[in-house]
Structure 1
Amino acid sequence: MRSLEGMWTLVEVPSAQEHKYTGVRSSSSALCLCEPQTFPCITWLRRASRQLGNPSQRRPPARPPARPERAPTRTLGEQRSATAACRGITQVPNLVFWSLNALFLVSDTSGKPNFISRYRIQIGKNEPVDPEKLRQTIRAVLFNQFVISFPMVIALYPLLKRWGDPCRRELPTFHWFLLELVIFTLIEEVMFYYSHRLLHHPALYKKIHKKHHEWTASIGLVSLYAHPVEHVVSNMVPLVLGPLLMGSHLSSITTWFSLALITSTLSHCGYHLPFLPSPEFHDYHHLKFTQCYGVLGVLDHLHGTDTMFKQSKAYERHVLLLGLTPLSESIPDTPKMK
């Protein structure tokens, strides 16, 4: 047997272990005998020993593989906020719409009470209203409200939330709400005028807008009696665009929609009642078709689409009635020449 002297070398071999659960590395060493032929590995072993002794040269512990990130999901509170927003934006204005129209329908179908019938603009028409035509109108209005308007509001809710959470706790100040109403009204005037006038183009009128003009003497429900395309383009978009651009609060949107439906109902009701906005402007549009396209009349004045209206008796009656005498009696139409 060969002697260990000169033939074998005693070497301290470093070793390292990583804890199974904590990931902490620990170092240790062991003694072993190496043959001369293995002397080149001794340098490497010593270098490894120095690295284990120097913390700055140690490799960082291996991290477990990262789990794939899941797509963010809405919390229960956010879902409730979205539901409350959609209900507030649609159900409250709808309740206001049907409550007001129910009062007008009593007079439209029965002619009572008599003091309301006295204020009818187009005397002798809709006295009473055609029942079949009324049922057809009610079906179309319900379809537009629940099949078109409600899903459209749900689809637009993420856009409302992007500009500003409509269900935030802070209510808008009264001055800010008045500013919003001014902007909403101006946007509606521009969008409604041009979309409405576009629908009177011969290529679109017969297929789309003619349905709304089946009523030459309109009633309150006719405000939402329209082809689905017209309901989206001319009724919904002009109303929704303002709150979208302003990032409005739920209370502002609900109030705006309710006011818009009240105004539209009064414009179509066919009665010029005391202390209420005059419906003569839009009633004249249903009578003549090619006049008075807008809501406020500003763009009609600029484009000259109210010239016939300004020459009519309806223009003289287009004022706020502050007395109880019907304007059809104080300012009667000019008798037709035979």
Structure 2
Amino acid sequence: MNNTFIDTVHVVFKENQHLNVAEKLWKSWYDYMDNDILATGLLFFFTHEVVYFGRCLPWMIIDKIPYFRRWKIQPSNIPSDKEQWECLKSVLLSHFMVEALPIWTFHPMCQKLGISVSVPFPSWTKMFWEFCLFFVLEDCWHYWAHRLFHYGPFYKYVHKQHHRYAAPFGLTAEYAHPVEVMSLGFGTVGFPIIYAYFTRDLHLFTITCWVCLRLFQAVDAHSGYDFPWSLHNFIPFWAGAEHHDLHHHYFIGNYASSFRWWDYTLDTEAGPEAKKSRETRWRLKQEAKLAKSMEKKSKTDSK
């Protein structure tokens, strides 16, 4: 690579006026690297690190400012510097020892599946519907896999690590056993791969944006804060921190990642309000059953 990256950017921007800025930068990166396997590997790894820790940083700062305690879901449980540091070390180790290898082998898979790295990018409309599909599929996978991890030995030997912190904070989003990291990570990367296998029509930029959105969702769900402007206050079926914090606090229920419908439909919502609602429904059901039985007995006696 004789030219610097800035030189490559200058040439690409000058010769590709029909492309938007993001497309020009994307093309500049791949032209400069001149090695698609390396380019994709570095792109994915550094995007993951920058987005994940970049999103965690604001929550770490907020945890230090007493003003925000009014929106802390568990205000008496503020993570200490020691807890933040121990969690950071574990997450970094996981990123380099568990997640790095699949990232470096991703480009050859892209080639086999026909996942495009060329420009221009797909339309925003197409990517939007793909994001929606991936969110729904990942949420389904996460619900059932997460629920399984709360069963017997799966919890004891795998998922228990993630529940070390009953009051989660941003960094704990990926604080988990390697088996859990790979299993739940499949929901994020696996479904785009399956989608590409069947459609042969997916762009790597779409996957990159989807991973960024998923990282934002995961970190925010573990933030421990519920603001008036939190997304679930505008989208009722969105889960978010208020939903997932109850899971960590009570160690059971609220298994889904992004949406509330699986927990609502299958009656696995967490917290005292959900428990009270279940008990009320059970009592009403039993009363109705008893009333029906007495009515049937009364009709039989009258004969």
| TM-score scaled by length of structure 2 | 0.71
SS at match of 2:218: helix
- Which one has more relative contact order, counting CA pairs under 8 Å at least 6 apart? 2
Distance 2:118 2:272 in 1: 45
Structure 1 residues 285 and 249 mapped into 2: Cα distance closer, same or farther (>3 Å)? same
Residue of structure 2 equivalent to 1:282: 244
User: How much has 1:118 moved relative to structure 2?
Assistant: 2.2
Q: Does 2:68 align with 1:116? A: yes
The structure with the larger Rg is: 1
The 3-state SS of whatever aligns with 1:206 is: helix
Corresponding position of 1:249: 203
Give distance in 2, aligned partners of 1:216 and 1:258: 26
Q: Is 2:56 the partner of 1:101?
A: yes
Work out the CA distance in 1 between the residues paired with 2:260 and 2:175.
22
Question: Which residues in structure 2 correspond to 1:62-141 (within 5 Å)?
Answer: 80-108=35-63, 111-112=64-65, 114-126=66-78, 129-141=79-91
Paired amino acid for 1:254: T
Which stretch has the larger CA shift, 249-258 or 213-222? 249-258
**Can you list the C-alpha shifts for 1:285-320, whole angstroms capped at 9, x where unaligned?**
00111110012122212321116565379xxxxxxx
Are 1:217 and 1:270, in contact at CA under 8 Å, matched by a contact in 2? yes
Q: Secondary structure at the match of 1:279?
A: helix
After TM superposition, give the deviation of residue 105 of structure 1 in Å: 1.1
For the 8 Å contact 1:267–1:282, the answer to whether it is kept is yes
Give the 3-state SS of the residue equivalent to 1:118 in structure 2: helix
Deviations 1:194-237 (A, max 9, x none): 11111111111111111100100000000010011111111x11
Displacement of 1:92 in angstroms is 1.5
Q: Amino acid of the residue matched to residue 261 of structure 2?
A: V
1:227 aligns with 2:143: no
1:302 to 260, 265, 269: 265
8 A Cα contact 1:199 1:209, kept in partner: yes
**Aligned counterparts, 1:7-22, within 5 A:** none
Q: Structure 1 length as normaliser, TM-score?
A: 0.64
Task: Identify if the C-alpha distance between structure 1 residues 97 and 178 changes in structure 2 by more than 3 Å, giving closer, same or farther.
Answer: same
| Contact residue 218 and residue 270 of structure 1 kept, 8 A | yes
Is the strand fraction higher in 1 or 2? 1
Contact 1:187 1:241 in 2 (8 A): no
Distance across 2 between alignment mates of 1:181 and 1:301: 23
Question: Any stretches of 5+ residues in structure 1 without a counterpart?
Answer: 1-75, 314-338
Q: Who is 2:274 aligned against?
A: 311
CA contact (8 A) 2:252 2:270 kept: no
Equivalence for 1:271: 225
Structure 2 unmatched ranges of 5 or more: 1-30, 197-201, 232-239, 277-303
State the 1:78 CA deviation.
9.4
Mapped partners of 1:160, 1:309: distance in 2: 46
Residue type of the partner of 1:202? G
| Structure 1 match to 2:115 | 165
As a proportion of its length, which structure holds more helix?
A: 2
Check 1:166–1:85 CA distance in 2 against 1; reply closer, same or farther (3 A cut).
farther
Aligned length in residues? 232
**8 Å CA contact retained: 1:167, 1:250:** yes
1:181 is displaced (CA, Å) by 0.4
Whether 1:292 and 2:246 are equivalent positions in the alignment is no
Match of 1:213 in 2: 163
- What root-mean-square deviation, in Å, do the aligned CA atoms of Structure 1 and Structure 2 show? 2.2
Structure 2 residue identity aligned to 1:311: A
2:98–2:178 Cα contact (<8 Å) kept: yes
Structure 2 CA distance, aligned partners of 1:223 and 1:232? Answer: 14
Residue of structure 2 equivalent to 1:261: 215
Q: 1:318-329, aligned counterparts within 5 Å?
A: none
